[in-house]
Every structure is written in C-alpha cells, then in structure tokens.
C-alpha cells in the first residue's frame, strides 16, 4: 500500500448533509509513518463539529472482502483507517429530505470521515489485516443498541457497488437479515425539551410547537427543576436542546424571607443545575432573562450592559444569567413586561374598564410589552437559524410607553375611555406599601436579534390583537 505523504488537512463535502471527508497530514520516512488522526483545534477550525468523543473503537479485519454494516447509530463518529484500505459506504437514515442519500469512498490511512448520528455506516476491506478505527461521542450500552437503525447491504435503492460482490464477501448473518430501505423506520432527531411548559411562556411554546414530535413538554409535575433527582432520572442523550421557561416571578413577594429563598431556589439553583447538565451533555440551553437585571438608569439597555439589579428578583435573574453564560451553546433571551395567557397587566386593565373603575397607573416607568407568542417565535428562530450563541434582548417593537399609556390604550381597545386612566409616579403609587424596587427605564435595544433576521412585531399591533382575541372588550 502506498500512502501519499505531506498532504494538507483539508475537507471535502459529500451528498449527505453533515458527512465530511477529510484528508489527513501523514508524515513518513524510512522507519514508517506518523499522522495526526484526531486534532481537535485544527479540525474544529475547519468546521468539524466539536463533538467531544468519549470512546475509541478499533475493528480489526483479517481478510480482504470483510463487509460490515449498514448500521446507523445514535451518536456521531469520526472514522479513519489505521492500517490497510477500505471501501466505505454511508446512507442517510435520518428523518428528513436527505433520507436514502448515499456516499461512497475508498479510504486509506491518509483520510478520515465524520458521520453524524443517524447516518448508516458500512465498509468493506480491500486488503488483508485492515484496522478500521472510530471515535464516538457516547458510550456504547445495550440500551443504546436498541436505538440503532439498520439497512441491508444489498438494498436495491441504495444500489451500492461493492468492489467484492456480497455473494463472495465475508458477512455476518445479522447484517444479511437487515431490512430494505422501504421497511426502514428513519431515525428521529434528538428532541427539544421545554421545561415550565404550564406557565405563560410555556403555554405559548406549547401552542407554537403543537404537533411537532421533536419537541417534548414538561410542566412542574413532570419535571421539578429544583429536584436533583429529576435531573438524574432523565436520559439527556435523547435531547439536543432545553428551553427553560420556568421562573419565580413574584417580584414583591421575593423581598420577603420566604419569597427570597424560593426565588433563589427556582431562579438560580435550578438554572445552575440546568447549566451543569447542558455542559455535561453538550446541550443547547435557552434561558429567559429579565429587564430587572438592570437598575433602569440608562435610556435603553443593550445586551452587554453590566448588571445592576435593584431588588431580590433582579438579583436572582442576574445570577441565573451568569450561571447559564458558562454553557458553550446557550441563548439568554431577555424580555420585559411579559403578557400571555393568565393574569397580567392587560387583563387587569381590561377588567377595570369593564367595571367602570378609573385607576391611577404608574407613568414614570418606561418600556415595551413582550407578548409570549412573540417571545416563543424568537426562541424558535434562534434555534432554527442557529444564530450565534449569546444573549439577545427580545421585546415587541415600537415606541416605548409608560404603564399609564398602555393602560389608556387598553381602556380604549376595551371600549372605555383612555382618559379614565390617571398617571401617577412610582413613588406615589407605592407610598406606604411594601414593594420591590423597580427599574424606571426598561427599554431593551433590539438591534442584535434583528441582525439575526428576526423582526419583532409592533407592540401596539399585538396589543390590539390580544384584546380582541381574548375577548377583553366592554360588553355593549
């Protein structure tokens, strides 16, 4: 066997999405040869997923014509040849438009190939004493073997032209019995797990992803984010992303001894558990943050502003952001003034309008509403578009308003008069009341998320739709 020495490390795309063929640098002299079979830094720089291998396997094959496969496994593989030469065949057995796509190549020790989870792998040795080696990013187990997907080596649709005819090749009885492509159940993608699925944002995410079998929902009774046991019981290998829509949001109650403990437990300790889990299992973690991490002293807040929370709730949200930020694949979605299903400011104002109450509403806190349906859309956009990881402000768009201005708009939409709303300062409103300090300016800059291709809808437009859809108008 002749090996080409001193090739540069290069990549070659294939017809199967995610399958990439690599030329490896091999250095040789009169003693033999040496190659960097796996070099994380260089290969990641060329675009190889940082798939974090945990197990190295070698398949030794004594005779030319030994044929193995076609096996699609529930993990990623980085495959190369240690000695000898093989004819490799790969078939996409994942759900999706590329199901059934085929790629073949002859590999010697100067080449390697990356095979994503769900792509069927097979090879036929072309020389005696061939060693086929592969790195995988999950540990083999009997349970994992039950998640394999198989295809018959002789499948007529794939129509692989084996150099050694299968009738003359060395095959196992199991491989001979694998199904044809028409009988193969495609391997489904890893799932997205939504925690806190019964809250305001969770319900919006349920509606958005309704019917999507790749998304799994867990309310508090299904998964207690504060329970260490809940994390231990979950097979995280089945998931690629987690959306944390759970939170303690009782801003004023958080200032009490009992509320403070609950806020830190739910907002911080649980977020730290999730962050650790995401790091250990290479998950994408989506976490929802708040304008309360700022003191409201600036006219508007961008994603890079230093935290300066005024109260306990804001402190817990800032601490959670810090914990989640250590996850390599994270999206922190920062919102303000959230409106969704259940009790909220808009519903309260509409109720007052229907009853003829003329309220005094704070007029020196400025911000924008964030409707849960739009936050959910933004989260899906970030995940689907594979936007750069990091923190993104996400509210509805439009001119900033005070709570009093929004209340007046709700009164008008509900069929009452906006003049029924009287403006009052925060200091006057909370005089002689036990309440958490609030940022006076909650305007979040939206340039960063817009740059990813997401366009937040106008707040006034969404408010009009919300009042109509929720039947919040004054009865005629």
Question: Which tens digit of pLDDT belongs to each residue from 364-386?
Answer: 999 999 999 999 999 999 999 99
Q: What was the pLDDT predicted at 378?
A: 98
Mean pLDDT across 314-343: 96
Distances (CA, A) of 425 to 333, 404, 430: 29, 10, 9
In which element (H, E) is residue 348 found? helix 345-354
Alpha carbons 303 and 313: distance in angstroms, whole number: 19
**Which phi and psi (to 5°) does residue 261 adopt?**
-65, -40
Q: What was the pLDDT predicted at 5?
A: 65
Alpha carbons 394 and 376: distance in angstroms, whole number: 10
pLDDT grade for 144, boundaries at 50, 70 and 90? low
Identified catalytic residue from 71, 178, 287, 301: 71
**Whole-number average pLDDT of the chain:** 94
pLDDT grade for 1, boundaries at 50, 70 and 90? low
Q: What was the pLDDT predicted at 337?
A: 97
pLDDT grade for 2, boundaries at 50, 70 and 90? low
Q: What was the pLDDT predicted at 33?
A: 80
Q: What was the pLDDT predicted at 475?
A: 63
Alpha carbons 272 and 249: distance in angstroms, whole number: 18
pLDDT grade for 142, boundaries at 50, 70 and 90? low
Q: What was the pLDDT predicted at 36?
A: 87
Give yes or no for residue 65 having a pLDDT over 70.
Answer: yes
Question: What's the distance, CA 222 to chain centroid?
Answer: 20
Q: What was the pLDDT predicted at 151?
A: 97
Reported as a single tens digit per residue, the pLDDT across 238-248 is 899 999 999 99
pLDDT grade for 217, boundaries at 50, 70 and 90? very high
What letter would DSSP give residue 267? I
Q: What was the pLDDT predicted at 96?
A: 93
Q: What was the pLDDT predicted at 53?
A: 92
The reply to whether 429 belongs to the active site is no
Give yes or no for residue 204 having a pLDDT over 70.
Answer: yes
Mean pLDDT across 342-366: 94
Burial of 141: CB neighbours in 10 Å, binned 0-12, 13-18, 19+: exposed
What domains lie within the chain, and their CATH numbers? 10-183 (2.60.120.10), 191-469 (3.40.50.720)
Mean pLDDT across 150-154: 97
The reply to whether 132 belongs to the active site is no
Q: Is residue 88 within 8 Å of 163, Cβ to Cβ?
A: no
Alpha carbons 300 and 391: distance in angstroms, whole number: 16
Mean pLDDT across 281-292: 96
Residues in the chain: 476
Give yes or no for residue 469 having a pLDDT over 90.
Answer: no
Alpha carbons 282 and 190: distance in angstroms, whole number: 12
Mean pLDDT across 338-354: 93
Question: What's the distance, CA 431 to chain centroid?
Answer: 44
Q: Omega before 356 cis (within 30°)?
A: no
Q: What was the pLDDT predicted at 104?
A: 98
Give yes or no for residue 476 having a pLDDT over 60.
Answer: no
Give yes or no for residue 134 having a pLDDT over 70.
Answer: yes
Identified catalytic residue from 22, 132, 134, 392: 134
Reported as a single tens digit per residue, the pLDDT across 66-92 is 999 999 999 999 999 999 999 999 999
Alpha carbons 134 and 113: distance in angstroms, whole number: 9
* Rounded (10°) CA dihedral 315, 229, 144, 74: -10
Reported as a single tens digit per residue, the pLDDT across 394-447 is 999 999 999 999 999 999 999 999 999 999 999 999 988 889 999 999 999 999
Reported as a single tens digit per residue, the pLDDT across 263-278 is 999 999 999 999 999 9
Grouping H, G, I as helix, E, B as strand and the rest as coil, residue 122 is strand
Give yes or no for residue 258 having a pLDDT over 60.
Answer: yes
């Amino acid at each position: 066997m002749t090996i080409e020495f001193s090739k540069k490390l290069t990549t070659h795309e294939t017809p199967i999405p995610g399958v990439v063929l690599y030329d490896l640098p091999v250095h040789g002299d009169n003693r033999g040869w040496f190659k960097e079979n796996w070099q994380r830094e260089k290969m990641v720089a060329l675009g190889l997923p940082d798939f974090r291998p945990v197990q190295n396997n070698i398949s030794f094959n004594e005779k030319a014509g030994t044929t193995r496969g076609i096996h699609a496994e529930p993990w990623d593989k980085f495959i190369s040849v240690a000695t000898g030469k093989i004819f490799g065949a790969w078939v996409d057995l994942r759900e999706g438009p590329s199901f059934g796509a085929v790629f073949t190549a002859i590999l010697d020790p100067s080449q390697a190939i990356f095979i994503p989870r769900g792509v069927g792998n097979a090879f036929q040795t072309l020389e005696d004493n061939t060693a086929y080696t592969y790195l995988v990013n999950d540990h083999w187990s009997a349970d994992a073997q039950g998640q394999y997907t198989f295809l018959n080596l002789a499948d007529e649709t794939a129509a692989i032209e084996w150099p050694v005819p299968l009738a003359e090749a060395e095959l196992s009885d199991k491989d001979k019995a694998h199904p044809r492509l028409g009988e193969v159940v495609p391997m489904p993608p890893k799932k997205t797990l939504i925690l806190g699925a019964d809250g305001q944002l969770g319900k919006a995410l349920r509606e958005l992803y309704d019917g999507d079998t790749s998304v799994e929902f867990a309310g508090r009774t299904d998964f207690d984010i504060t329970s260490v046991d809940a994390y231990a019981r979950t097979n995280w290998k089945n998931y690629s992303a987690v959306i944390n829509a759970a939170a303690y949001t009782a801003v004023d109650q958080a200032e009490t001894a009992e509320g403070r403990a609950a806020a830190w437990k739910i907002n911080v300790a649980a977020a730290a558990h999730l962050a650790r889990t995401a790091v250990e299992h290479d998950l994408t973690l989506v976490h929802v943050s708040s304008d309360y991490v700022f003191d409201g002293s600036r006219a508007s807040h961008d994603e890079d502003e230093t935290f300066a929370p005024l109260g306990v709730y804001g402190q817990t949200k800032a601490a959670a952001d810090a914990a989640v930020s250590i996850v390599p694949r994270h999206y922190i979605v920062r919102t303000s003034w959230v409106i969704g299903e259940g009790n909220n400011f808009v519903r309260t104002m509409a109720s007052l309008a229907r009853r003829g109450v003329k309220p005094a509403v704070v007029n020196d806190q400025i911000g924008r509403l964030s409707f849960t349906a739009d936050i959910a859309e933004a989260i899906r956009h970030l995940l689907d578009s594979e936007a750069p990881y990091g923190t993104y402000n996400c509210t509805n768009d439009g001119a900033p308003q005070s709570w009093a201005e929004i209340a007046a708009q709700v009164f008008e939409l509900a069929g009452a008069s906006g003049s029924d709303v009287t403006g009052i300062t925060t200091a006057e409103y909370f005089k002689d009341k036990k309440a958490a300090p609030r940022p006076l300016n909650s305007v979040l800059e939206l340039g960063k998320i817009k740059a990813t291709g997401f366009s937040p809808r106008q707040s006034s437009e969404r408010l009009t739709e919300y009042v109509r859809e929720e039947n919040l108008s004054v009865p005629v």
